[in-house]
Copies of this chain bind each other. A is one copy, B any other.
Amino acid sequence: MPLVGVGDVSKRILLGRKLRSSQLGETLLSKRIALPVFASDALSSVAYAPDEVFIMLSLAGASAYVWSWKIGIAVAVVMLTVVASYRQNVHAYPSGGGDYEVATVNLGPNAGITVASALLVDYVLTVAVSISSGVQNAASAIGFINGHEATVATILVIVLAAMNLRGVRESGTFFAIPTYGFMVAILGMGAFGIIQDAAGTLHPVESASLTVVPDADHQGTLTQVALIFLLARAFSSGCAALTGVEAISNGVPAFRRPKSRNAATTLLLLGGIAVTMLMSIMLLANRMGLKYVDPGDVGRLRDSSGNPLPASYEQHTVVAQLSRAVFHDFPPGFYFVVAMTGIILVLAANTAFNGFPVLGSILARDGFAPRALGSRGDRLAYSNGILFLAILAIILIQAFDAQTTRLIQLYIVGVFVSFNLSQLGMIRHWTRHLKTEKDPAARRRMHRSRLINTFGLGMTAVVFVIVLLTKFLAGAWIAILAMVFFYALMRGIRKHYDRVEEELAAGDEDKVMPTRVHAMVLVSKLHKPTLRALAFARATRPNTLEAVTVSIDDESTARLLQEWDDRNFDLPLKVLHSPYRELVRPVVEYASAIRKANPRGVVAVYIPEYVVGRWWEQLLHNQTALRLKGRLLFTPGVMVISVPYQLRSSIEHKPEDWVRPSYRDGVSSGRGRQIGR
């Protein structure tokens, strides 16, 4: 159709050629590639999780920083527990449904869509937080980004969405190098810093000489309760490091065989690496005297004599400060670390772009999301889901001005909703399987798995309560509200599909054939399309055949009638008068009237159309046929027959996706790989 055509062309230009179904196999990921693709989210969070811990502790002044590495250890313990739990998940549910599938199968569909709501919200937040933090890191090295963070972040989201619309595989290879680069950068910096520390040559960071004024609520000596609450807040902010762990469990189908084992191994790898990175950053920051406050509250930083800092002072991110000090005599080291951190954070958002559309298509398959999300796009990517994700993330980035600390408040609650429901589901899973399993070895394994999941549930439940208590008012309520909205939406959609399906269920009475066919051919001019429609209508030998025209002005109708007579058609031309100068209504009403007179017959309305190829030609020709067809669909007992006449331009300028891929390949792809049929 005209409008589709335009979209298709631009889509094609942006996305390149499409992939064949059997090529899906080619897009499967090895562990080497899967680690960067799916683990980049979890790994990258070590770039902002420590910052958040220091920001929270700084509320009570720099003295509270003595707690930082203990909080780091607590986060690491939770992280390893969750990794151990999810290793059970990927073995038991390798289909990529992840937490959603686990919850649905074991706890019922309502738990399933609760998880789905949480995941949807978190995917959006992953993009928003990662990109925002990446831009913030970039601003530490590239001064002119300062003040334009939201704009830069928005552009990055758009670029990422476009890349993902091109398909998973290219993204995978593309993202591998920077992810490994990030590991090398952070672990290298950590190792180098620890060596310097041992040698006594470790430099202090730029903020080492500063002091931190406690905020209004934390002046003076803290009460026990206040201290515990502060530590709880710091801990739950640190749990941002856990986000993204579940991504692998949603991505199992993208792994090479044996999918589950490869995914489990990748999970373990990622857990180990993430914990090591996190702890080295916490440790170094402590040793190097870092002072770090909320970027929106830099005024609480003072110089060594207690005076306010100059207005031009810019607080750089933790990673930037550490690397600048560690590599104080080797600037390329600093730039490498900051560049890799910035890039990995942007790429972490890619995890969401990989996971979100998969979840969306699963939800669509189960009738909880619009079916349009379920259709694989041209390039095996689920285009609609990618676009949806990008738009929501951009809205969040703009609403929170790309400030990581504010976005983080919304982030963590959703992750723990799915952690908890997933572990609960897994316990039920093992319990159910234990009822039927006889083999003692298998039973042992199941018992062990259940134990791990139970421990995981206990741990994540405690963390969930802590997160809820400390984050609810700070922003988590927005995320929870969004989850409730998605939950209601998904239930509503499912209800609608169920109702439609019920209404459409066919019985034997639906096979009854209409007794007669009353055909009418719509005539506006006597050109080739009309004659063709008349000929085609005749060929179907209807019981009644008539030509019908709508009279808008008398003069042209008289001319048409004259020409009709001149051409000696052996059927009458019926004139419908249109007091409102409408073309559509008189036809619809006439068709209804005929049908009413003969309720067991069917009215066949033949609409001659001519087809042009170029988009601007389509603008130039009346869309009346389209509107008429649309309206006639609402008329019972009518069928609408388009008789197209193809103008030359429609043959020369066919819509792009009409051209066969095998032909397109030779033209538009430089890869030299032919796709046969």
Chain A residues engaging chain B, CB cutoff 8 angstroms: 1-2, 4-5, 18-22, 370-372, 375-376, 493, 496-497, 500-501, 503-506, 510-517, 525-532, 534-536, 538-542, 578-581, 585, 588, 602, 604, 606, 609-613, 617, 619-623, 626-627, 629-636, 638-648, 650-651, 654-655, 657-658, 661, 677
Contacts and interface: CB of A to CB of B under 8 A. Distances in A.
B532 A513 contact: no
Given A504-B529, A527-B504, A646 B636 contact: yes
27 contacts: A1-B626, A4-B627, A19-B580, A21-B578, A21-B579, A371-B622, A500-B621, A501-B527, A503-B528, A504-B525, A504-B647, A505-B527, A506-B527, A510-B528, A510-B531, A513-B539, A514-B536, A517-B539, A536-B602, A540-B604, A585-B657, A631-B655, A634-B650, A636-B646, A638-B644, A640-B641, A640-B644
A581 B376 contact: yes
A342 to B, nearest CB: 36
Given A511-B534, A581-B376, A648-B503, A4 B630 contact: yes
A186 B641 CA distance: 63
A657 B429 CA distance: 55
Contacts of A617: 496
A96 to B, nearest CB: 15
A633 B609 contact: yes
Contacts of A19: 580
Nearest to A504: B527
A500 B610 CA distance: 9
Contacts of A2: 630
A620 B372 CA distance: 7
A412 B609 CA distance: 44
A1 B633 contact: yes
Contacts of A375: 581, 622
A506 B535 contact: no
A41 B63 CA distance: 74
A658 B642 contact: no
Ranked nearest first, the 7 interchain pairs of A and B with the lowest CB-CB distance are: A1-B630, A504-B527, A510-B531, A633-B644, A640-B642, A514-B539, A540-B540
Copies of this chain per assembly: 2
A615 to B, nearest CB: 13
Main secondary structure of the interface of A (DSSP, over half): mixed
Nearest to A515: B539
A21 B581 contact: yes
Nearest to A613: B634
A636 B18 CA distance: 25
Contacts of A613: 634
A1 B657 CA distance: 23
Contacts of A506: 526-528, 530-531
Contacts of A538: 513
Contacts of A542: 540
A578 B627 CA distance: 31
Contacts of A629: 1, 642
B1 A647 contact: no
A364 to B, nearest CB: 10
Given A504-B527, A580-B20, A580-B21, A654 B640 contact: no
A370 B4 contact: no
B517 A505 contact: no
A633 B642 contact: yes
Contacts of A540: 517, 540-542, 604
Contact of A644 (B532, B620, B634): B634
A647 B503 contact: yes
A645 B506 CA distance: 12
B620 A497 contact: yes
Contacts of A535: 510-514
Contacts of A630: 1-2, 4-5, 655
Contacts of A651: 634
A581 to B, nearest CB: 5
B496 A510 contact: no
A219 B496 CA distance: 79
A593 to B, nearest CB: 13
B371 A620 contact: yes
Which of A516, A580, A612, A632 has the most chain B CB atoms closer than 10 A to its own CB? A580
Contact of A20 (B497, B579, B641): B579
A220 to B, nearest CB: 48
A539 B602 contact: yes
Contacts of A503: 528, 647-648
Contacts of A677: 579
A612 to B, nearest CB: 7
A505 B623 CA distance: 20
B639 A639 contact: no
Contacts of A658: 585, 588, 631, 634
Contacts of A512: 535
Nearest to A514: B539
B645 A22 contact: no
B644 A641 contact: no
Contact of A639 (B612, B632, B644, B654): B644
Contacts of A515: 539
Contacts of A530: 506
Nearest to A19: B580
A661 B501 CA distance: 34
Given A1-B629, A631-B655, 14 more contacts: A5-B630, A371-B622, A372-B623, A506-B527, A506-B530, A510-B532, A539-B602, A540-B542, A580-B661, A609-B633, A629-B642, A634-B644, A634-B650, A640-B644
